[in-house]
Copies of this chain bind each other. A is one copy, B any other.
């Protein structure tokens, strides 16, 4: 993600922060002063509906950056919480913006990254337009799999994937089992292999 770009910039080293489990790094509405990258563990980005239900927006794993979009926003637009103990690097927004002004190539690269993210988000949105849980899961797997090996190594909990797909986790398990039973996929633990590219 952005993290390699961040480190290529000759700015002051990021502040390293340890976050305890369930501790929140920032909350929606907090003034946005930093962009983050996960060093250990993972960070969940969520929003809360007015009825108190949490909506999972994204899970940033080790090596990934998050809150990049906050670079041009005065405040954070979601909550960042660690559900396990995590370590993150905090880069100062000012520093980054300054670096962008110094070097147009870097600004351009950043723009390219955001573009890719836009496309990724569009793809996610596209997935949501698939009614059938089974088809939705299957398309997700197709998307995540490397095109040649047709294998997916799910990095996070199935439960979180369910949330990202907008499905109840029970439904996810069920349909995953059904797909396996029907010989469409095979899996051991968190490694899933796609056997048929059509459903």
Contact = CB atoms under 8 A, between A and B. Distances in A.
A154 interface: no
A73 B114 contact: no
Contact of A107 (B50, B104, B121, B129): B104
User: What is the total number of copies of this protein in its complex?
Assistant: 2
A118 B119 contact: no
Interface in A90-125: 97, 100-101, 103-105, 107-108, 110-112, 114-119, 121-125
Contact of A139 (B49, B69, B110, B125): B49
A interface: dominant SS: helix
Interface centre among A51, A105, A129 (most CB of B within 10 A): A129
A57 interface: yes
Contact of A121 (B55, B122, B129, B139): B122
A140 to B, nearest CB: 13
Given A57-B126, A73-B119, A121-B122, A107 B111 contact: yes
Interface centre among A57, A114, A121 (most CB of B within 10 A): A114
A122 B112 CA distance: 18
Contact of A100 (B97, B108, B139, B166): B108
Contact of A115 (B56, B71, B122): B71
B129 A68 contact: no
A135 B107 CA distance: 39
Interface of A: 47, 49-51, 55-58, 68-69, 71-73, 77-78, 97, 100-101, 103-105, 107-108, 110-112, 114-119, 121-126, 128-130, 135, 139, 163, 166, 198
Nearest 7 pairs between A and B by C-beta?
A: A114-B114, A104-B104, A121-B121, A72-B112, A111-B111, A107-B107, A55-B129
